[in-house]
Each structure stands twice: as C-alpha cells, then as structure tokens.
Chain A
Amino acid sequence: MPGRLSRLLSLFAVLPVLAGCASSGNLVSESSRQYVREIESFVIEDESGLPYDLPLLGGLNVPRPQMHDIDADGDIDLFVQEETGSVIFLENTGTASEPRYVWRTDRYQDLDVGEWYRMLDLDGDGDIDMLAEERFSHIRYFRNEGTVEKAKFVLVVDTLRDANGVPIFADRQNIPNLTDIDCDGLVDLFIGRITGTITRYESIGMDANNVPQFKFVTDNFEDIEIIGELQTRHGANTMEFGDLDGDGDDDLLWGDFFEPGLLFIRNLGSCGLPSMRGEPEPFPGRNPVETSGYNAPIMVDVDMDGDLDVLFGVLGGAFNANFTTSDNFYYLEQTDKNVFEHRTSRYLRTVDVGSESVVKFADFDADGDQDLLIANKIAPADHNVSTVYYFENIGSASAPHFRAMGTMDLLATYHQNPAIADLDADGDLDMLIGKWNREIAYFRNEGTASNPNFILVDPVYISLTRGSNSAPTLGDIDGDGDYDLFVGEASGTINYYRNDGTPEEPNFVLVSDEFDGIDIGRRSYPTLVDIDDDGDLDLVIGSELEGLRLFRNNGSRTEAMFEDDGIIDVHVPVLATPEFVDIDGDGDLDLFMGGVSGGIIFYRNR
C-alpha cells in the first residue's frame, strides 16, 4: 500500500474476531449512566508529538471571539461562539501575559445569542453587559446583574428599540460593534449594512428600566462605503473599533464576505472628533492576512504588553470556506508599534480535521487498546477528497494517549464514513466506507490484525436505494453470528441490510430502506451498541439538529424490537456522529462524537 497508509499499516497488530468492534463491550446498567463532558481527559498529540491544548473541544469552523476579564482575576478570559445561539467560555487560568484557557462550558449561562454577541459595560456599573442577536436580525440586551467577579447575565429586553421606539434592525450576518467613538462618555452602536455602509446610533443614556437607549444618527457613518477588494457588495460583514495604532482614538477593522483579509481604517481625527474618511487599507500593512474571507476581528491586548493585538475568526466568505475549516482562529500580535506578527491561525489548539467529522475507535494494531480514526467531509487542503486520520493509542486500554500517525489512503471521495469489523472472520479488521453519496465501499484486510493491509474489494459494495451521506454501522442484530448492516443517510431514515451470508462471507440483503419507520429528521448517523447492558444491541442515532436519539432494543439478542426511547440528554453538535467505546477501561461505555465543527467531543461515562 502506497504512501502514508503503508506507514500506518506497520502499526497494526493481531485482533480477536469481533473484539475490535468499537461499539461492543460490557456496560454498566443504564441507571448509572452519567455522561460528563471533558476536554483534556487524555493526551492527543499531533504528528510532531506536540500535545493539543484542548484536544476534545470539538473543532471550530466559524469562531466569533470576545475577550474580557469576566472574573476580575486580572487576566483576560475567552469567549467563543461556534454554534448559533450559544457561547463557549474558556477561563484563563494562566497569567495575564501567558494565558492558559480551560474550557468551562459550551453554553455560557445558557445565553441564546443568535448569530452574534458583543460584550461591553453598557450601564456603566463596572461590569460587562452584552448585546446579541434577537432572532432574526434584531438586538437583545443582557444586563449583568452579578458582580465583576461573578457575572450573571439577565435578559432585559428582547428587542432593543431606538429612541423613537423603532426596533433596531441588524442583519444577522452583519456583526455590529460598540464603542464610545467620540469620547463623550456614551456608547455608540455601529451596524454594518449589506451596502458596505455603517449605520451609527448614539447612546442617549438609560431609560427608566435601565436599558440603554440609542438614537439613530446616520446610515452613512463617516461616508464609509466598503466595497471590498473586488469592487462588489451584497455580502456580510463584521467590524471592530479600537485604538490599534495607540494614538488615543478608535480605529476600525472590517471583515467582509468579499474581502479575503481585514481592512483597516485609521482614525485621522481625535478622540473627540473622529475622522475615518481615508481609504481602507489591507491589514496588517506589511503582510496582509488572506483567508477565505468574512473575518471577524477583535482588538485586545492578548499578551498584556500595553498594546492591542488582533484575534479574528474566519467565518468563510467568497474565497472557499473549505480552506479554513481547520485554520480559522488567527492571532496577530502587535510586536512593535503598528507591527503585527502572525502567531497562529489556530489560536485554540484542538483536534480539528475540518468539518463534519466522523470519529471511530478500533484496535487497529491489536495491542489491546482502542485506536482512533477521525475523518472529515472535505479535506481543507484538497477539495476533491476527504481525509481519514489515524491516531494510534500509544497509552493503554485504561490510560489512553493518542498520537497522530498520518492518514489512510482509502477512497478519493467526499465524506468517508468507516464502519469497522471483521467481515470475513479471519481475525483481523475489515472496513466498509460510506461516502458522500449513497454508495458504500468494501475494504478487506489482507494483512494481519496487527499489520493490516486494506484492499479495495468493491468501490460500490452497497448502493442505497436513494439519498446521500451513507453512514454504515455493523452489528449482529439477529444473533446468527455474523454482522448485519444499518446505514444512515441524509434523509434521516435508516436502511437495514440483513447478512444472509456467513461470518466468513457476508451477503447483505436489503430488508428495508425505511427501517421501523425511523426518521430522525436529517442526516441519520446510527451506531449499534448495547447501551443498557441487557445483552442485545440498541440503536443510537445521531442527526443534524435533533440530538442523539436512543431506540432501545426491547426484544432480544436474536429478535430485535426497537422502541423510541427519546433523546439522550447531552449537548451535541450539529451533525452529531456518535461512537461508544470504553476508553478508560472502567467497564462502561463512554461517548465520543464528531460534528459539524470537525473535532472530537467526549463525554465520559461516570
């Protein structure tokens, strides 16, 4: 086998029949099942051996950062919006100048922030308040009714209105900004428009309910009209005001759907009399950044050296967002006055293979512990294929430690979805690979359990009756000693293929392409697992938006009878792809998931 795969295959070892099926294993009783989200439970290293700081954060595709010292401990904490409607909170447990972020929650205070949020002290009480999107395209106000040490955000107004009582409109894809642009002590609100102009509202203080009041000033702030590098509009934009050049007044950074970098508009006036009528300049001047566009910047003194640095998330604009599904959180450090150095494009180092990740575990080297595969939808560096990454468990069955060992060169197709089992009863692991369409390929291991050699037997071994995003999973559902096949797909239904062959020679026969009438909404991603430890396989199905749904097998090991048991009570990503495995050797099944953001999400079963 050529290239990287041959490097990988040397790692494989002998494996007992069926034992490698990722979803098999003994379970504690369901009543004791308690899933707890963990981010740094074990070490995962990149190919150079450098551990990821936050390996199980889940990946980032569209990070929208904000930074504030939310706990008044003298360092700056980090908030990141990745999903619509929620904010990830990472507490800085390091120092002011050398931050170390520790994940605290994916849903900070359960605040529904729509598509954006901005944090600022709006009521002048010394703590941080928040504006966010009120769905759709209006503004809601959260007041901090806690303290500077312990924030407590309370929704006060769900539709912020201007001084005339008119709801303030802010296209949800255009992220506003707040600053006191004229240094009069009152906060101004700026909203980008799809025309490339900026609407300004000026604070006129608080109303009787202590809600900030904004008076409409102009739809053409400073006559700014951003039309982007390619002289076009009809887009989406973000902006950030801050004194980037340290001259005592606020400048402007602008990100735009049609702008691959950031645009800088210097304030040539003063704090009391801003003047921002100069030409937008690519930023940083000496070496402008270039991404897929639609960059969402913030200015913050990340390293606490007295000047503002720039962090920005890449939301993905006109310049092919697939390029930036992994590298999308930039840190530009201001190292000298107006000199910015690109420090990283992955400010949070987490396992992130792109988008729509699929996570699978199996003992690929037959050393008794679970190794890890993680696949993406489309490779960020090659838009014609997806990539399957292999992480070898160099730890143990009870103390895992993973190291990236390259990629598997399997299929030149999108969205490879492996299902792993010994399909020919020869003692090693074979694979079915679902694809972006309705096809499933079959790879037989013609090596050994410890040194596999996957040979493509049939690129279209199974073809669903219709649909796309075939997502196979294997399990002996009828107790006849061979693997049967369940396949999810884009429509949200389940295809059931019974193995009418033998353990040595499978013959998958379609029983139903709408098995049991199951419809999970969209993007069904099934896994067969004995979740209640009663000796038969239950069915857990991931979905696009409906979470993880459990169909409990209330039949028997030989005669399955699945009944809808509802949603498993964990927060899951969009396009959740569940995988159960006892990763810590404590006898119960832990839960892993891939998702739209391209990383790994882990819930330990405690």
Chain B
Amino acid sequence: MKPLTRNGAIVLVLTLSILPACAQSSSVTNSTTNSITISTTNSGQSVYSDVIQPIFTAKCSFCHGGSSLDAGLSLESWGQVMAGSSRGAAVIAFDAENSLLVELATKYQAGSHPEELSSASLIDAEIQQIKDWINSGAPGPAEQIPFADSNDFIYVTNQGEGTVNVIDTGSNTVVRRVDLTALGFAVMSKPHHIAVEEDGSYWYVSMIAENRVLKFSRDNELVGQAEFQVPGLMALDPASDLLFVGRSMAAVNPPQSIGFIERSSMDIEEVEVFHPRPHAIAVSSTGDYVFSGSLGENRIIAVNVESRDGTRHSVEGPIHTLVQFGVTPDGQTMIVGGQLTGKLFFYDISNAPELTLLKTIDVNAAPWHPVFSPDGKFAYLANKMANTVTVIDMESQSIAKVIEGEGLSQPHGAALSASGKFLYVSNNNLNGHYTPHFDLGDNELAGTVVIIDTHSMEIVKVLEVGAYPSGAGSRRAQ
C-alpha cells in the first residue's frame, strides 16, 4: 500500500527501456526485475527537476503556464502540479494509471493530449517517465511526497472497482487511490462504507463481498481485519474502542445482528437486533447506545453497549425502508430517512434507549446518509433518486435548501471536512446521468464526488473518480 508519509530516502524505479531518455541519470541495474533503480541524478537535483519539469515546460506550459491556465492547471512547478485543476487532481501519487495527466495522454478518445490540440505530442518515453515518476510517489524537488503532511482526508469508496479515493480537504483533490485488489481482494469486493478515527490515525472500510471490515493506517497500510457477513454501514464511537457495523443488502438472508468491533484488536462480537436486514447504524454521543434500523421493517432498536440489552421501537406509517441515521454533535437528536417514502424523521434520543419522535418532514426522494455540521445547526443528506442534496435547518427542523447541480447523479454518501467548511457527496452515476468531462473510453459511468461549500451551499468542484462511489467518511464523527 502506498504511504502518505515519507519513510526513508525516495527511490524511483524506472524501466530499462526508457533510460536513454534520462541522460543525466546514474543507474544500477537490477537483473531480477530488469529495471534500473535511480537514487539521484547526476545534476544532484531531483527527478522532478531534472526530468519531469523539463517535459512540462517543453510540452505543456503553453496552455498550463504563465497567465494561460487551461482548466486552472499550472504545470510550472511541482506545487502547482499537485494543486491540480478545476477538475481535480492532475496527478495521484503512486497511481499513474488513474492520474488524469497520464490518462489524457494515453486514453483520451479525442486524441492524445496535448497532441489533439495540435501541440507537440508527448512521446512514449516521456509518458513513461511521467508514469514512473508518479508511481514512485510523484516526489518533488526536495524529494517530498505530496500531501505527506496533510492530516484531513475524505475517504470515498469506489464500490464498483475495489478502490478507495483519498481526498485532501486542503486542495480538494484526490491525492491517493488505495487499490484493494493489490492486496488480493477482488475487483468486485465492493468496498462500501468508511469510518475514520477522530485523529485520522486509522480508517476502516466495509467490504461487502469479502465479508470483512478492513483497518488501514493513516499511511494506507492494511493493519487489521474482522470477519463479518456482508458488512454495510459503520459507526465509530470516538469515546471508546468500539466500531459498530451493520449489514448491506447483498445477501439473500443476512443475519439479524450487528457487529461490535474492538478497533484495537479487530476482535468482533455479533449482537442481536431482532429485525431483518439491519442497515442503518449510529452510536450515541456518549457511546452508551448503538442504534440499528431495518431495511425490511419499520423498526429501530437501541442496544445498550455495555449490557447488550435492546429496546425496540416501531416507526409508524407505510414501509419506509430506513437507510441511515445521523446523530447531532450534542447527542440530543437523531435523524433517519425513509428510502421508500422520502420521509425524514427527527428523534429525541436524549433519554435513550427511549426514542421520542419529534417531527417528520418530506424531503426529496430517497434520503440517504446524513451528516451534521460541527455546530449541529445543519444536516446534509443526499437524495439518491432526486439527484439533489438537502440541507436541513436543525433548529426549525425544516429544509433550508435543496442543492442541485453538475455532478449530482445518484448521490449516496456524505462526509464533511474537519472544519466543516466543505461537504463531500459521492455519486454512483450508475445510470450515466453525469457525463465525464473527458471521454477516456472506459469512464462513461465514472462516479463523482461533488464538493459543496457549506457556507454558500453551492457546488464548488466535481471530482471524477472511479466506478460506483458509495460510502464516504472523514475524521468528523458522524
């Protein structure tokens, strides 16, 4: 797995075939891999300064330099390259294949970029040099790895391809893509939901089709796992060692229990919830109770975390199909949306395990995963069947705004940056409602992450990511 932090000297691996292009490089041949390891350059500069920047300067600066910045992308310095474009990251460290800069040169259906603009083309050797540089971590002039010192990330699963996007909230770009298939998991392992430690030290991903929850370090190293049949949504209790996990849809008859995972050991205990398809899950702010909601009946259960005692509650009305809970930062209120009815329920949970229904309102179709602003004044939730995001004023328990716009296509998960400044909404786009900006031949149904400024409540950026983005998570406890 590719680290976010530096760990020792930077070592670049370039294939033998392109070495002639690196005239100033010194090399040591590795006969086993038929590759050449480059630890430095003859100039004493870095690969970026000696090899990569000259390519950018020669081939790209006309459109991506000076005052002319197509797509807002400058390729005049390493820092500017890493800042990305208005469309997201140009380079994803350690992942050339999914770096737009390489994709446009190799897969763009309109022709290799920038050649398709009648500019001088990047020759194969240059492309290979760029790819190798990216795959080695895209180190900068001082051999620094990009975003190694960042500490606020949004994690979004690509459920349809077995990867996880890591988005830096400072630059609002994808800075890593964690490839779970490289760890032996299937392409269709279906990573679904994310939970993140409050200090960012570890993050967790539920793997529906692998029947397990994985634990990763901040450096994206797999450090633990817990087996659990068709894990779905998760809720992390920052006040204890517990991570709670419910079940996804992906089974004929999944067990009617939820998982209590000790995060330090990844030991898991299954606890009965007495309703079919326990999907929605949340933990009270005190960590005393975990709430589970059913996809198969109008039921919520509040389980005492210590005793495992459960208190069941019925939800009145027609079948709602409760998708996911959100708990306000003060722990007083819980909201949950009904997939089939478009209802949003407000519960007083201050006397848990008792739940008191405070209010029910109608929102757009299929209210999905809610999250709260840090001050608890607003809740945000995707409307999966309406391609909107609803902002809820929690004081009046009413709709403050419905956000529409580019990139919202089957919106699914939501997460906030640590400061609450930005909201990130994943979009499945399985129906192709959103058309990617660049036709890369294989990205017709690429999903998106829509970034919304929570102050203006406007969409500020659309990141095109992998197949079927679903769950999102951040350090902000949800």
Contact of A436 among B186, B269, B274, B298 (CB under 8 A): B274
Verify A231–B385 contact, CB threshold 8 A. yes
Say yes or no: is B46 at the interface (Cβ < 8 Å to chain A).
Answer: no
Say yes or no: is B221 at the interface (Cβ < 8 Å to chain A).
Answer: no
Given the known interface contacts A231-B365, A318-B319, A322-B297, the answer about A490 and B251 at a Cβ–Cβ threshold of 8 Å is no
CA distance A194 to B210 in the complex (A): 18
Given the known interface contacts A195-B430, A232-B339, the answer about A136 and B272 at a Cβ–Cβ threshold of 8 Å is no
Given the known interface contacts A136-B209, A318-B295, the answer about A234 and B272 at a Cβ–Cβ threshold of 8 Å is no
Say yes or no: is A467 at the interface (Cβ < 8 Å to chain B).
Answer: yes
Instruction: List 22 A-B pairs, Cβ < 8 Å.
Output: A62-B253, A115-B251, A116-B252, A137-B188, A137-B209, A173-B251, A195-B430, A231-B385, A232-B321, A232-B339, A234-B339, A316-B253, A317-B296, A318-B321, A320-B276, A321-B297, A378-B274, A414-B274, A437-B309, A468-B271, A468-B309, A490-B271
Interface string of B307-342 (1 = CB under 8 A from A): 111100000000101000000000000000001100
B295 contacts which chain A residues (CB < 8 A)?
318
Verify A320–B296 contact, CB threshold 8 A. yes
Contact of B296 among A136, A173, A316 (CB under 8 A): A316
Verify B249–A321 contact, CB threshold 8 A. no
Within 8 A of B (CB), among A448-476: 466-469
B252 contacts which chain A residues (CB < 8 A)?
62, 64, 84, 115-116, 172-173, 236, 315
Interface string of B365-401 (1 = CB under 8 A from A): 1100000000000000000110000000000000000
Interface size for chain B: under 10, 10 to 19, 20 to 34, or 35 or more residues?
Answer: 35 or more
Given the known interface contacts A436-B272, A468-B310, the answer about A232 and B253 at a Cβ–Cβ threshold of 8 Å is no
Within 8 A of B (CB), among A222-246: 230-236
Verify B253–A315 contact, CB threshold 8 A. yes
Verify B253–A61 contact, CB threshold 8 A. yes
Within 8 A of A (CB), among B243-270: 249-253, 255, 257, 269-270
Q: In whole Å, how far is B250's beta carbon from the nearest beta carbon of chain A?
A: 5
Say yes or no: is A333 at the interface (Cβ < 8 Å to chain B).
Answer: no
Q: In whole Å, how far is B447's beta carbon from the nearest beta carbon of chain A?
A: 13
Say yes or no: is A270 at the interface (Cβ < 8 Å to chain B).
Answer: no
Within 8 A of A (CB), among B216-266: 249-253, 255, 257
B270 contacts which chain A residues (CB < 8 A)?
490, 522
Within 8 A of B (CB), among A288-307: 292
Q: In whole Å, how far is A413's beta carbon from the nearest beta carbon of chain B?
A: 11
CA distance A231 to B342 in the complex (A): 11
Verify B309–A232 contact, CB threshold 8 A. no
B271 contacts which chain A residues (CB < 8 A)?
468, 490
B366 contacts which chain A residues (CB < 8 A)?
232, 234
Say yes or no: is A7 at the interface (Cβ < 8 Å to chain B).
Answer: no
A319 contacts which chain B residues (CB < 8 A)?
296, 319
CA distance A322 to B269 in the complex (A): 25
Verify B188–A169 contact, CB threshold 8 A. yes
Q: In whole Å, how far is A359's beta carbon from the nearest beta carbon of chain B?
A: 20
Say yes or no: is A258 at the interface (Cβ < 8 Å to chain B).
Answer: yes
Return the 7 tightest CB-CB contacts between A and B, nearest first: A320-B297, A321-B276, A136-B209, A230-B340, A62-B253, A468-B272, A115-B252
Say yes or no: is B68 at the interface (Cβ < 8 Å to chain A).
Answer: no
Given the known interface contacts A62-B252, A172-B251, A232-B340, the answer about A466 and B274 at a Cβ–Cβ threshold of 8 Å is no
CA distance A236 to B277 in the complex (A): 12
Q: In whole Å, how far is A357's beta carbon from the nearest beta carbon of chain B?
A: 15
Interface residues of B (CB under 8 A from A): 186, 188, 209-211, 249-253, 255, 257, 269-272, 274, 276-277, 295-298, 306-310, 319, 321, 339-340, 365-366, 384-385, 430-431
CA distance A258 to B384 in the complex (A): 15
CA distance A322 to B277 in the complex (A): 11
Say yes or no: is A171 at the interface (Cβ < 8 Å to chain B).
Answer: yes
CA distance A84 to B250 in the complex (A): 13
Verify B307–A438 contact, CB threshold 8 A. yes
Say yes or no: is A93 at the interface (Cβ < 8 Å to chain B).
Answer: no
B365 contacts which chain A residues (CB < 8 A)?
231-232
With A115-B252, A414-B274 known, 19 other A-B pairs at CB within 8 A are: A62-B253, A116-B252, A136-B211, A137-B188, A137-B250, A173-B252, A232-B321, A233-B385, A234-B339, A234-B366, A235-B249, A316-B276, A317-B296, A319-B296, A320-B298, A378-B274, A383-B297, A491-B308, A522-B257
CA distance A316 to B188 in the complex (A): 25
Interface contacts (Cβ under 8 Å), in number, total 109
Verify B250–A172 contact, CB threshold 8 A. yes
Q: In whole Å, how far is A42's beta carbon from the nearest beta carbon of chain B?
A: 30
A491 contacts which chain B residues (CB < 8 A)?
269, 308
CA distance A64 to B252 in the complex (A): 10
Contact of B250 among A62, A64, A173, A258 (CB under 8 A): A173
Given the known interface contacts A232-B340, A316-B276, the answer about A438 and B309 at a Cβ–Cβ threshold of 8 Å is yes
A316 contacts which chain B residues (CB < 8 A)?
253, 276, 296
- Measured CB to CB, the nearest residue on chain B to A574 is B255
CA distance A579 to B251 in the complex (A): 30
B249 contacts which chain A residues (CB < 8 A)?
173, 194, 234-236, 257
Q: In whole Å, how far is B98's beta carbon from the nearest beta carbon of chain A?
A: 20
CA distance A236 to B250 in the complex (A): 7
A468 contacts which chain B residues (CB < 8 A)?
271-272, 308-310
CA distance A171 to B190 in the complex (A): 10
- Measured CB to CB, the nearest residue on chain B to A315 is B252
Given the known interface contacts A84-B252, A316-B253, A383-B297, the answer about A258 and B211 at a Cβ–Cβ threshold of 8 Å is no
Verify B296–A321 contact, CB threshold 8 A. yes
Q: In whole Å, how far is A450's beta carbon from the nearest beta carbon of chain B?
A: 36
Contact of A232 among B186, B276, B385 (CB under 8 A): B385
CA distance A378 to B269 in the complex (A): 23
A467 contacts which chain B residues (CB < 8 A)?
308
Contact of B319 among A172, A233, A320 (CB under 8 A): A320
CA distance A230 to B343 in the complex (A): 14
Interface hub of B255, B269, B296, B365 (most chain A Cβ within 10 A)? B296
B384 contacts which chain A residues (CB < 8 A)?
234
Within 8 A of B (CB), among A358-380: 377-378
A415 contacts which chain B residues (CB < 8 A)?
274
B257 contacts which chain A residues (CB < 8 A)?
490, 522
A322 contacts which chain B residues (CB < 8 A)?
276, 297
